[in-house]
Structures are given as C-alpha cells and as structure tokens.
Amino acid sequence: MAIDMKVPSVGESVTEVTIAAWVKKDGDFVKMDEVICELESDKATFELPAEADGILHIIGKEGDTLKIGAAICSIEPQNAASTEKSEPLPLEVRPAVVSDPVAHTVVQKSEVLEIKVPTVGESITEVTIASWLKKTGDQVGLDEIICELESDKATFELPSPFAGTLTIKAEEGTVVPIGGVLAAVAVGGSTVAPKEAKGEVSIPTTVQTAENATYAEGHPSPAAAKVMAEKGLASSDVNGTGVGGRITKEDALNAKAAPTPSVTPKSEPNPSVVAPKEDRGSRREKMTSLRKTIARRLVAVKNETAMLTTFNEVDMKPIMDLRKQYKDKFKDIHGVGLGFMSFFTKACSIALLEFPAVNAFIDGEEIVYNDFTDISIAVSAPRGLVVPVIRNAEKMNFAQIESEVVRLALKARDNKLTIDEMTGGTFTITNGGIFGSMLSTPIINAPQSAILGMHNIVERPVAINGSVEIRPIMYVALSYDHRTIDGKDSVSFLVRVKQLLEDPMRMLLQV
C-alpha cells in the first residue's frame, strides 16, 4: 500500500510552502531519509526526506504552493512495486493494438491527474498565474515547464509532474488559492504512432522533440520582462542563459539598455497648439502578490494595534570617536569591522531587560514576557527586506554581535536564511538611515510590541555645557503597541538607549 507524504509543519506561523525543486523524479526508487525535494517558504528553503523505501509518485509539481498537511507525493513500497512489475499481464488482457492504413493506435488505460498549486511560503494563501508556456491539448513531458506562477515573494516556474496531454483549468492572470487546481494531464489513453512497415506493430516511446527542447528560448520570465520593459529591450536584444534559452532577470539586468532615439531641435512651440494626449502617457501594472500581501499585513498591524511613536536624538560623537580609535585593532583581533549596529543591539538588549514590557507581546488574552532578547535586524535582500534574528543578544559581546550580523546579512543576500533564523524575534531594529532617511515612524513587526528606527547622522548645532557645538546627531524613533507598553515605559526605554549610546562605557560596566 502506498504511503502518502504530506507537507510537514516547518515553523511558527508558516501555513504553506512552495516546492522549489524535486531532487528525485516521478518513478524513481528512493530510500528512507533520502532527500527527495526542496521546499521553500517566505522565510527559508529546506529539504524534505523520504519517509520510506519505495517508488516515488509525485503529486505536487515544482512551483506548486501547498498548505501544511497537504499531500505532496506518495511512496509505493518496493516489494509491492516489484511484484506488480514482475508479473506480466495475461495475453487476453494486454493492451489491444488496432491497425489502420494510416497509423497504429495503441490503446492503453487513460487517467486524468490534476496539477494543483503547491505551497510556496509562510502565510502565502494564493498565487497568480503569470503566463502559460503551454496550451490546452499540448503534449507535455515530465518536469517540462508549463507555466509561471507569481506569489507575494517571488516568481517561479511550474514543471509538469506527469507526461501526457495538458488541459488548462485556470487562465493567465487568475488568482488561485494554495491547493487549487491549475490544470489536468491525461496520462495514457490512445497514442497514435507513425505508420510502419506492414505487419509490424510497435509501442511508441516518449521522445522530446526539438520544439519541446527549445520552448523557452527567447522567452523572458516575468521579472526579466519587467526589467526589459524599463530598459526598452526586446527579446532579440537579450541573450538568454536560463534553461532552454530562457531570459532570466540577470540576463535582462546585464543587457545594455536600448539607445535613446536622437532628438532633432524643434522650433519654439506655438502656445496655441495643445500637446497631444500621447505626450502625457501613463501605464497600469497589476500589483504583485508580494505587494498585495505587504499592503494587507501593514494595514492589519495598523488596525489591530494601538501603535504610537516616540522620538529622541542621540549624540553619536562618543561612538564615532570610539570606533575611530579602535576599529583597526578590533578588526585585526576579531576579523570583523566595528559598526554602529553592535552598539545599538547591545544598548537595546540591556534596556529591554530593564523594561520587560517593551520585550513582551500579546497572545490572546495573555501578555508573554521574555527574559531573553532575540533581536530582529532588518536586512536588505534580493527579494526585499527580511528580518533575521540575533539570538540571546544580551549574552553576546560586540565582536559576537558584529559576526552574527555579517553572517545573517550574507545568508540573506544569497536567499539561504532558514525558518528558525527568521522567526521568534522579541524586538526589531531597522536602519532607514542607510538610505538617507532623517526621520520616520516604523511599523511594528507583529507579534512584537515595539520596533526601534535608526536614521541618518547629520551634523547639527547643539548646546553643550552652555556653548553651541556642531555634533553628529541621529534621530531615533520607537514605535510601540500602547496595549502592552505604557507611555512611561516607552519613553524611559528610549531615554535609556540614548544614555547607553552617548556613554558607551556604561555598556561595558553595566551601569
């Protein structure tokens, strides 16, 4: 009896995953604990091992989005599979072969298998069909790319898990929920083969034609198409390096932009002549799933929390002087640079333990207080902003914090962050200053109760001991959930962070 494998629970608040790639093919023999596919959530990519020895039968295709607990494949025990294969069919029940003057038709048992949307990541409940690469009635091979799907995190290709005749169930642009039916593939049935010599009967085998091998050649992915449109490029202007000649986003980025048409000098315009409408063009673009989900989550946070923001300013001169004096020695000894993030992370971890309400969160009708500080750090990644977590920051020194920041940033850049590295933070630090932001009101990273916003450093005149001096000043903002944190705690927390940053020796002496 076949063993059904289902999508396992992979992390906090993860409700669905996407099948990133099948390591094994349909019909392959697999061993227990052997990796058969890679699953991807919006937090990380992880491997799925086989639950038993046997023959693999794939249910979910690459790119499909599946909910936790949904069937992804089945494994037929080896003894059952070998028994079925070793016993030949009696002559009277073997597939009949019908000949006619034009072709030989091999009549086999027909079965229609559905292609469903796989799980593609945490909290992703639907995907959009970006484009179909095949049409209804086309013959598709196993693992042949049939369409492109778009989630709120990325665009990915969906290969066919079966070989047969394709029937499309959902058109381009349709939003399909995870587990919804995209298409169906008729496996088996009557297969027509070319006429051969009289008296000869052969069973046709599947052969990939040149057309099938190059179906993607010159065809851009949705991400690449967007880049090409912005740069004014046609498909013929870009050399595709993807599978089957597919034009990838990197190909479009590396291609040179189309030359701007030369403009000939014009005479002075006549004020009485009204500019044609085409000179005031506009365009509409469908919102991506990523943008729609971001919008939905941000609105939910604003509607479900009593969010306020309090501000303060930090004189960064003491930290900048300290870095200038010790940064070279620090890097020689520890192998990492001494940045601002370690100072802010350490200051926040100390202040969070002194003001536990800022480090808490609401769970139903209860408030959960943490006696540890797992600080989420906003990091820019290719797919957008991610927030990996520095665990137990209160126990780490500056070198350990800097090393962890570098490690997480590199993994974020390569899209290799795991689910555990992306979940469970108790407080978040975001640095809009690297993009030039002077002041902002950051939105809370639910279910946390507070987030600290860093901004750019600008030299400003300030009063020091009765005289005016030019100092490097940074504005800091603390957005917090007033349901958990009172105004006194929020302001006191931010003042304590300011105190620790303006006198870094306090962090070393713990005073």
As a whole number of angstroms, the distance between CA 26 and CA 162 comes to: 8
Torsion of CA 234, 237, 242, 245, to 10 degrees: 90
Q: Where are the beta strands (DSSP E) in 151-301?
A: 155-159, 164-168, 175-177, 181-194
Indicate the pairing of strand 457-464 with strand 307-315.
unpaired
Between the CA of residue 449 and those of 352, 355, 370, 424, what are the distances in Å? 12, 12, 12, 13
CA-atom Rg of the chain in angstroms: 30
Long-range Cβ contact pairs of 360-363 (< 8 A, separation 24 or more)? 360/426, 360/449, 360/484, 361/426, 361/447, 361/448, 361/449, 361/484, 362/447, 362/449, 362/481, 362/483, 362/484, 363/447
Catalytic residue among 143, 374, 482, 503: 482
DSSP symbol at 387: -
Residue 482 known to be catalytic: yes
State both tokens at 480.
């917090």
Run of H or E including 500: helix 487-502
Backbone angles phi, psi at 335, to 5 degrees: 80, 5
Of residues 240, 223, 67, 215, the one with CA closest to residue 130: 223
Indicate the pairing of strand 45-49 with strand 35-40.
antiparallel
**CB burial of residue 28 (10 Å; 0-12, 13-18, 19+):** middle
What does 109-124 look like in DSSP terms, one character per residue? EEEEEEEEPPP-STT-
For residues 43 and 20, the answer to whether their CB atoms sit within 8 Å is no
Catalytic residue among 237, 486, 489, 503: 486
Torsion of CA 48, 49, 55, 59, to 10 degrees: -20
Residues in Cβ contact with 59 at an 8 Å cutoff, skipping those fewer than 6 apart: 71, 72, 73, 74, 116, 161
DSSP symbol at 393: G
Residues in Cβ contact with 123 at an 8 Å cutoff, skipping those fewer than 6 apart: 13, 14, 15, 16, 42, 293
Of residues 171, 167, 177, the one with CA closest to residue 112: 167
Annotated catalytic residues are 482, 486
